Chains A and B, each alone.
Chain A
Amino acid sequence: MSQHQLQQLFEFEAGREGFFGEFGGAYIPEILHETIAELTTVFNAAHKDPAFWQSYIDLMSTYSCRPTPISYCDNLSALYGVQIYLKREDLNQTGAHKINNVMGQGLLVKRMGKKRVIAETGAGQHGVATATMAAKMGFDCTIYMGAEDVERQRPNVFWMEQLGAEVVVVEDGARTLKDAINSAMRDWAGSMSDTHYVLGTVCGPHPFPLMVTWFQSIIGQEAREQMLTQVGALPKRIYACVGGGSNASGIFCGFLDDEGVELVAVEAGGLGLDSHQHAARIASDDAEIGVAQGYKTYFIQDKEGQMQDTHSISAGLDYIGVGPILARLHQQGRVRFEAATDNEVIDAFRVLVKNEGIIAALESTHAVAQALKEAPQLNQTDKILINLSGRGDKDIFTIADALQDKKWNEFLKNKAKNL
């Protein structure tokens, strides 16, 4: 197993624990210090315990279809003149890579002996995954979700509630993911003695960025092995979409030691980078280094450090910050950052579904869109791997709307009429 650089992430200089270069850290209200310290201790012990990782692998193989396959896209490859492979995280339980992190943290919650979990959610995928984990492992569960996201993603709210979670609608601020994170932090500041905060991405205070990266590295470890044994070669490039960055961190971490593999992170270009209506923290010039939500990274903020509204067609990428490990890998030149616009994503969505029969999440489709844009730079023998982080069933309303599907609109009207 080639994991030298992944393991290096766990090694901090004295007095710099939780920092990746200048990024990361734990900028938290003092009240949370002890609970974060407890989590760090339990996490470090789990990381050093091979039996823990094995119990995680076992759980994921019986509950979440792991290892997820890689699929060769023969039609798309012929069309674009490059060999395209997909890592099929969409085939997971709950339909996205989010379940990896959540089940891993669930095992840690058992070790800590806590009884309740809370989580933020944007698109609702992480909320559904957390509610699923809580149902399976027997925890009480509260999910915080911005009011705007609740409006966009009602089906996920329905499922969370069916799974037994309480969904709290957050009306503060921009009423989206960042505000849900603030609310979850506030809950935790009062409830930490029996409650664990299942942060959904590679952001927030240490140890979350490292811990979530570690659980998600299962994607990259599998993918590397699969490329070598099933394809016989490593890919030339890997593409993954980046909101907070958990699926990208997960797949990239399998390949950090392979210098010949270029890692491409794709942010939400929204209405275009010039429009300032996007969520591109690194690919655009609209972000600066700042400190919020417990960590230091690039944030979409104004000159006085106030967070600005972001935009993306995909709720899951519509976030102000980016994981500190990814920010560091970018600074070191190891990860290249790009952005795909809403329109490019809708086009890529159609191409993928028509040619390969795969309904991808709009988040994941950002990675597909960027890969297709760059295909002309590559040769027919070059292999590229795209992390298809989630399936797109949840996006039916947004996609039908973007495609202006008349029959779907009639269906909705009839449904509404019959209520």
Chain B
Amino acid sequence: MLNEYLKQKLDGESLLLMTHCVVGYPSLDANWRMLACMQKAGVSLVELQLPFSEPIADGPVFVKANQAALKQGLRWHEYFDFMAKAAREFDIPLLFMGYYNSVFCMGQDNFCERLKTAGAHGYIIADLPPEEATELDNHAQSQGLDSIHLMTPTSTDARLKDIARNASGFIYCVARKGVTGSKTELDAGISRYIERCRAVTQLPVALGFGIKTPEDISILKGHVDIAIIGTACLEAWEHGGEGKYMQFLQSLHQATLA
């Protein structure tokens, strides 16, 4: 389970990196090269997003990526084939990321079985509240998959407890209000928020939404266990291709060590 893996890793490193791919965008081949860069740069976890036509939690960059991947015809079997191939080739644990309709239409048990077969470690579902996730989380548990739950700065302490109850692997803390992609100001408010999250869970804590630069990474050190960088990676690829992407990942990893 991821909890053990992450704790082991955190023995040697003070802050781990989790990155993100929208599978099928800009192409499966590009996704493959992104993963190779991640492995080289020392990324510890990666979310593979299954595109959905109505991605309400995503900002403009990922919305466009979801649509383009679907337009190019990405289907479930290609997603899972890609995931299985990546799980064989790379050492980075893979997580499913997506929206509940995909899971619901696939069937919850079928979904967990396919994830397990493809070699994934768990899932993050952007629009499934914890009270609706119980059945899926039970399926996941029986397959040895982790269910990553999201905490947010607007959650009350009572709500944070509810979210923690069935969470496993690690906690995904959303850094601010809004959708993915726009910049987050990392200030004292963030560390108070992270303390509130830590108070309800023993799991490692990750922070995402708007983490964009090596400076952001430096600030997060000592506060959270994992920094999540999604949109900024894709932007690096779009602006400068593989070279820029690799350079960007390395600069992020460097910031975790310094």
List chain A positions with a Cβ less than 8 A from chain B: 15, 25-31, 33-35, 172-173, 178, 182, 185-186, 189-193, 288, 290-294, 296, 301, 303-307
Contacts and interface: CB of A to CB of B under 8 A. Distances in A.
A26 B56 CA distance: 13
Interface in B84-137: 99-102, 104-106, 126-129, 131-132
Contact of B101 (A26, A191, A193, A305): A305
Given A25-B132, A30-B163, A304-B106, 5 more contacts: A30-B155, A189-B177, A291-B100, A294-B56, A294-B127
B75 interface: yes
B70 A29 contact: no
11 contacts: A27-B132, A28-B127, A29-B127, A31-B152, A34-B154, A34-B155, A290-B105, A291-B104, A304-B75, A304-B76, A307-B54
B74 to A, nearest CB: 10
Contact of B104 (A30, A193, A305): A305
Nearest to B149: A30
B179 interface: yes
A294 B154 CA distance: 18
Interface residues of B, number: 39
Contact of A186 (B64, B76, B174, B179): B179
Interface in B50-67: 52-59, 63-64, 67
B127 A178 contact: no
A292 B179 CA distance: 17
Contact of B128 (A27, A182, A190, A293): A27
A27 B53 contact: no
A-B pairs with lowest CB-CB distance, top 9: A190-B178, A305-B105, A305-B101, A29-B57, A307-B53, A306-B53, A31-B152, A34-B154, A30-B150
A306 B52 contact: yes
B129 A30 contact: yes
A291 B178 contact: no
A298 to B, nearest CB: 13
A29 B178 CA distance: 10
A291 B101 contact: yes
B156 interface: yes
B154 A31 contact: yes
Contacts, number: 106
Contacts of B155: 30, 33-34
B54 A29 contact: no
B23 interface: no
Nearest to A290: B101
B54 A178 contact: yes
Nearest to B126: A29
B129 A292 contact: no
A409 to B, nearest CB: 35
A189 B54 contact: no
Contact of B102 (A185, A293, A294, A305): A305
Contacts of A189: 56-57, 177-179
Contacts of B57: 29, 31, 186, 189
Contacts of A182: 54-56, 63
A292 B131 CA distance: 17
B7 interface: no
A185 B55 CA distance: 10
B127 A27 contact: yes
A288 B159 CA distance: 32
A192 B154 CA distance: 10
A36 to B, nearest CB: 10
A172 B150 CA distance: 26
Contacts of A186: 56-59, 178-179
B174 A30 contact: yes
Contacts of B156: 34
Interface string B141-168: 0000000001110111001000100000
A292 to B, nearest CB: 5
Nearest to B156: A34
B153 to A, nearest CB: 8
A15 to B, nearest CB: 7
Contact of B100 (A27, A190, A191): A27
A90 to B, nearest CB: 32
B20 to A, nearest CB: 16
B184 to A, nearest CB: 11
Given A35-B154, A293-B54, A192 B129 contact: no
